[in-house]
Structure 1
């Protein structure tokens, strides 16, 4: 019994703060419900009921009006008390009882409304005095620096005021919900009053007395609802004023705490002292954990022993013959012992978890002092921002911790209440009372430990929020230079986060000691950027080297130039592959990435880059076969031009009319191409000339051969040759064949023109005429031609017009 009283006493002490809060809220709600002032006058709309002047002079007027209405209602109640026979004949007993009840509620509402007005006046005066006190405060009476305990106490007061604000806001929200419900009730009663007034207006003589009574009853109902609504509105004013007062108190306490923190930064010695205290606390917790572990093991062993006893008892019950006695009572007792041992083991295990959480809390408190030291000695906003992020993460983890502890605490309290009621209403059928008392003690210890955990979580949360407040104060007082530095640091951090963003992962397989080890390598934005940078720089370097090589190759002979271009092409291809491999290795990406991307690349190459690959391979073939070389004169589809460049995709040719063309490399392999300089650079030209039949042919042939031999761009070997080609209808046709070097003169038409002009000059000097087409007409007549002149008459003219052919 003594243990039961102890448990009850401990429980009452632990729940006292909750009971006080619940009782206070209940009293406030009861007061607000009763404090419903009304008006004895006919009902006005809600907007008129709640409308109040904003100035302070309206307070006495409201009090005077309420006192008059209260006196009127009290007079009516006093009259009813003196004359109980005042009940109208048309009213039934229930309606008359309701009428008197409504009058009492109306008087109670007016009184409560007056009390609320007095509270509102007192709250405003208190708030005004506090504002004057706040404005007059210039600092603490003691000189800084202040102790760690003093600064910590200032922040504790801020956190306590936060809880008061939370409770006040909850109370205000509850009152507003009550006002909404009362407003709906008031609207309903006002509607019923209007209906009763309409019925009274159209009622006959026989029904007028009854309808008049109902109209008076509905009017009283409406007045009572109106009074409750007005009282609740005044109570809302009181709570709003109190909430504003508490907010000002909170701001003042925060101001004091910030001043104390700014004037008393945490020193290294103070930090070490707090950490030393935490180390001592950690040792105490370790001792409690060891003791709890011992207790838990003892309870678990007891559970095993009792289970073994139950098993043996069941085996004996099976072997024992029927009617030889029943072991049910012994089994029930063992079962109760087992249940008690299980509950004690569960409670010990819960206490062990809570103690380990308290150990983690000491670590968090140590981190709190480390963060506070960093905040007080931080030199830039970036450090403060990093600390703020750490605190935010800590608060998130702490919220989960508190949720877990509060859930277990509610469960433990429910079990404790149930066990307490079981002991209060003890029955002999419940079994062994001392065992049930042991359960109560186990639940009590579990509740006590969980309350320690919740209190530690609440205190830790308050400390962390105080740190956030200090950080906000430091950030608000930062200079523009510090903010600019913070912006620059944030940009760098954002770039780092973007660089570390993972795009995909690639499996990397290695064989070690005969075993295949599979790992994963991440491909991030930073690695891709680094690869692209290396690749771009490598391509730029390769392009510069190849350009330098091409400039040197241009001065080589054509046969060597093609080999040089082929070497440069192979060097560029090999260098590109090497750069890709080097870029992947430098960022630690395995080459197996091509296994992942191989299918995608194959599809892309197959559909999108097939023409490019075709031209690239064609260019490689042209360079290897040397069928087309730089400087060659080629004819493609009737266009004669000189090859100036053989690229990876196309060849650049220069036409003799000065136009440059880009011809795809594949065209040189797929179409018919005439290379005039494939084997050598000589070209045979032919010039034809006709002489008159009276000119000496051999002299003319000698002159033609002389004209070719005397031209400096006509090759001497092979020598020019002249042929008598044929005897034409008008001339003796001669043909001159001579050879030119295309390297010397690529335009053959210029040489042929010069040779023709020289032939004409030589023929003119020697009197040899160049034949031109001539025709001789011979008339073979048997008789002379008759010529007759005659005048043409009218008849003949008509005949001539009919037959013009005869004319």
Structure 2
């Protein structure tokens, strides 16, 4: 008894552990985050296990058993608990689902068997291949029909391959569901084995039957998916073989296709019949539009209220007139497209009929132009179609939200019908454009593949295309200008086109003329300085002003030479006036300040100035800013207005002589007269110090640690002389002479007094002992 109790306890513990693990890992298993090896069952393969007849017989017996269980009467016991009643209803639904899947499996097996027994499709059985003929040359129209068939086969093959991918994803999901159904069945079997008592055992039995049914349903769904996958694979295999054979036939026919005049006349006849049908449709649409206009005019005469029945009808008529206009525009577009299609056939006839190279090239260029125009038209049609579809969806929502059999509901349905007519016309336009676009793309590819010219001809073609591209680029018109001139007392308006080529020529002529004038004026500046003794600053001002006048004249000359009228810039007058008034006030202020500086000559090139903390040589005085090169080599661009608005220190304004001072401290007790002579000797011996004014030495002060002597001397600044280098040389010489004379240069000395109120602790460290 104890052993049996232990066994029951162990089973319950194991069952609890399994439930806990399932609760922990089942969400991750569903989401694909955890993969457990050995749990997933093998994918069933109909072809490898048994034959189709044996499987069909097996499934038929399973279907009969399922139908027997489904048709069996449920226990007629009204005293069952609600949970048991719900479980019985779930069981009945599972049986219905299982019967449906088994019947679907039989149907799929029959379809697979029929497909396996059916002979593969023959290429010669296709009407398009039969219409092609046995011997070349082949009709281009028949080749087009064959290529349409090939495109259709390839589209079907792509659809089958996409279906296989979808089935593979569904199969993986179904495998996961079957794995969970197997786990649930094992858990229900354990619960039934551990149940004690009649009522718990009956509930466990019912739960086990439901788990078994779910497991069978999962197996049946997986089997149906597998059969469906085998069907798609077989169809795709047959379709791939047929497509490959058809592709080889198309390649062979393309090399020998021709378009005869008879074929062209047949296309002309077909296009004429199509235009006739379109004209009939246009006449009917016009009659319908006139009827709507008459009805609308009649309703407007009665001045209906918006909420009345006549007012609602009037709003419907407004939308109907808009729809009539869209239909008429669409029919006109289709008629125009028909004419374009026929023109394209004529161009194709020139290409395939073997004309000269130039004619074929022009025909191909015309086809390319038609193709680009068709792409733009198709893009517009797609946008209109999308807008119509959005209006249809919105109107369908309105119809669904209005109570039926009411005036508002009927009005909404009429509007929905009108929106559908618009969408149908847009669909018709897009379908026609797609067909023609596919034809044009094919013809362009055929022409590119059929071109087998020699290297010289290809080079000529490339050269002509490059020249044509450059010519179109050169003659591209940027804008046109109307120039009004008076001839014989009458005002004549002449339109001038400003092309890209004219603009480039004008820019190049201006750059070349500006470069030549700058070189000539540089020589003129040198000539004025050397021949007439004009200063460099004044000569630079003259050169700049002459360059400005020449640049203005050059602009006018270049514009007239390139036949660009000056009225081109008339539209910029207002913008220039505003820009001069607001945006260029600072530029003009600096420009005028630069002119004043150049003429007043208070600041000249080569002067040493100090402005706002910047000290250096003036290297250039331009119209807007003045360049100052500091002693550290950094150049600063100072606006010209700053020289007129702030204080400027010019070290070399009247002359370039500046005074420098050196302070030297000597020790107390030294002979000051001897020191004075030594300082004067050092200053006199330096080649950069001026003799007039002569250097001077002053006994300046009794300092704390030294007697202060000051050496004052003068130097003349220049581009090759730096005052700091003179100071450095004099300090070297003074230090050497004072040292030789035994005159010391003291340094600061301080006496430190310690006021100790308590004895300081003194200890000897180990390091001190070792020392």
Q: Determine the structure 2 residue equivalent to 1:363.
A: 336
How far has the Cα of 1:219 moved from its partner?
1.4
Q: Determine the structure 2 residue equivalent to 1:157.
A: 149
Alignment of 1:246-325 (within 5 A): 246=239, 260=253, 263-264=256-257, 266=259, 274=267, 278=271, 281-282=274-275, 285-286=278-279, 288-290=281-283, 292-294=285-287, 296-298=289-291, 300-302=293-295, 304-305=297-298
Question: In the alignment, does 2:444 pair up with 1:471?
Answer: yes
How far has the Cα of 1:396 moved from its partner?
1.7
How far has the Cα of 1:229 moved from its partner?
2.6
Question: In the alignment, does 2:376 pair up with 1:393?
Answer: yes
Q: Which one of the candidate residues 417, 431, 435 is aligned to 1:458?
A: 431
Q: Determine the structure 1 residue equivalent to 2:569.
A: 590
Deviations 1:109-149 (A, max 9, x none): 45643553564566578797669999xx9995344444454
Deviations 1:274-310 (A, max 9, x none): 45754564455445534543454345435545776x7
In 2: Cα distance, 1:132 partner to 1:172 partner:
28
In 1: Cα distance, 2:391 partner to 2:142 partner:
34
Q: Taking structure 1 as reference, are residues 591 and 269 closer, same or farther at Cα in structure 2, changes over 3 Å only?
A: farther
TM-score (norm. length: structure 2)? 0.51
TM-score (norm. length: structure 1)? 0.49
Q: Determine the structure 2 residue equivalent to 1:748.
A: none
Alignment of 1:544-559 (within 5 A): 544-550=519-525, 552-553=527-528, 556-558=531-533
Q: Which one of the candidate residues 550, 566, 576 is aligned to 2:551?
A: 576
In 2: Cα distance, 1:615 partner to 1:414 partner:
75
Q: Taking structure 1 as reference, are residues 568 and 561 closer, same or farther at Cα in structure 2, changes over 3 Å only?
A: same
Q: Which one of the candidate residues 308, 327, 341 is aligned to 1:354?
A: 327
Moved more, 370-379 or 226-235: 370-379
Q: Taking structure 1 as reference, are residues 163 and 347 closer, same or farther at Cα in structure 2, changes over 3 Å only?
A: farther
Deviations 1:430-483 (A, max 9, x none): 9xxxxx9xx99x999999998687456424422312322443565578799879
**1:282–1:359 CA contact under 8 A, matched in 2:** no
Question: In the alignment, does 2:203 pair up with 1:228?
Answer: no
Q: Taking structure 1 as reference, are residues 168 and 501 closer, same or farther at Cα in structure 2, changes over 3 Å only?
A: farther
Question: In the alignment, does 2:210 pair up with 1:217?
Answer: yes
Q: Which runs of 5+ in 1 are unaligned?
A: 1-43, 315-331, 423-428, 431-435, 513-520, 638-644, 653-660, 677-807
**1:186–1:225 CA contact under 8 A, matched in 2:** yes
Q: Taking structure 1 as reference, are residues 469 and 250 closer, same or farther at Cα in structure 2, changes over 3 Å only?
A: farther
Query: RMSD of aligned C-alpha atoms?
Result: 6.9
Question: In the alignment, does 2:59 pair up with 1:70?
Answer: yes
How far has the Cα of 1:222 moved from its partner?
1.4
Q: Determine the structure 1 residue equivalent to 2:196.
A: 204
Q: Taking structure 1 as reference, are residues 510 and 69 closer, same or farther at Cα in structure 2, changes over 3 Å only?
A: farther
**1:554–1:561 CA contact under 8 A, matched in 2:** yes
Moved more, 225-234 or 530-539: 530-539
Q: Determine the structure 2 residue equivalent to 1:141.
A: 133
Q: Which runs of 5+ in 2 are unaligned?
A: 1-36, 352-359, 487-495, 610-618, 628-634, 657-771
Q: Determine the structure 1 residue equivalent to 2:737.
A: none
How far has the Cα of 1:215 moved from its partner?
1.4
Q: RCO higher in 1 or 2 (8 Å CA, sep ≥ 6)?
A: 1
How far has the Cα of 1:211 moved from its partner?
1.8
Deviations 1:178-198 (A, max 9, x none): 768866765664554344234
How far has the Cα of 1:357 moved from its partner?
1.3
Deviations 1:528-554 (A, max 9, x none): 877764543233222232244356556
How far has the Cα of 1:231 moved from its partner?
0.9
How far has the Cα of 1:218 moved from its partner?
1.0
Q: Taking structure 1 as reference, are residues 196 and 222 closer, same or farther at Cα in structure 2, changes over 3 Å only?
A: same
Which secondary structure state, in structure 1, belongs to the residue aligned with residue 50 of structure 2?
A: helix
**1:120–1:238 CA contact under 8 A, matched in 2:** yes
Q: Taking structure 1 as reference, are residues 213 and 120 closer, same or farther at Cα in structure 2, changes over 3 Å only?
A: same
Which secondary structure state, in structure 2, belongs to the residue aligned with residue 466 of structure 1?
A: helix
Q: Taking structure 1 as reference, are residues 575 and 246 closer, same or farther at Cα in structure 2, changes over 3 Å only?
A: farther
Q: Taking structure 1 as reference, are residues 366 and 298 closer, same or farther at Cα in structure 2, changes over 3 Å only?
A: closer
**1:151–1:260 CA contact under 8 A, matched in 2:** yes
Q: Determine the structure 2 residue equivalent to 1:61.
A: 50
**2:344–2:367 CA contact under 8 A, matched in 1:** no
Q: Determine the structure 2 residue equivalent to 1:9.
A: none
Q: Taking structure 1 as reference, are residues 80 and 341 closer, same or farther at Cα in structure 2, changes over 3 Å only?
A: closer
Which secondary structure state, in structure 1, belongs to the residue aligned with residue 531 of structure 2?
A: coil
Q: Determine the structure 1 residue equivalent to 2:761.
A: none
Q: Which one of the candidate residues 535, 540, 547 is aligned to 2:515?
A: 540
Q: Figure out how many residues of one structure are paired with residues of the other and give that number.
A: 554
**2:124–2:130 CA contact under 8 A, matched in 1:** no
Q: Determine the structure 2 residue equivalent to 1:5.
A: none
In 1: Cα distance, 2:257 partner to 2:292 partner:
51
Give the structure with higher Rg (CA): 1
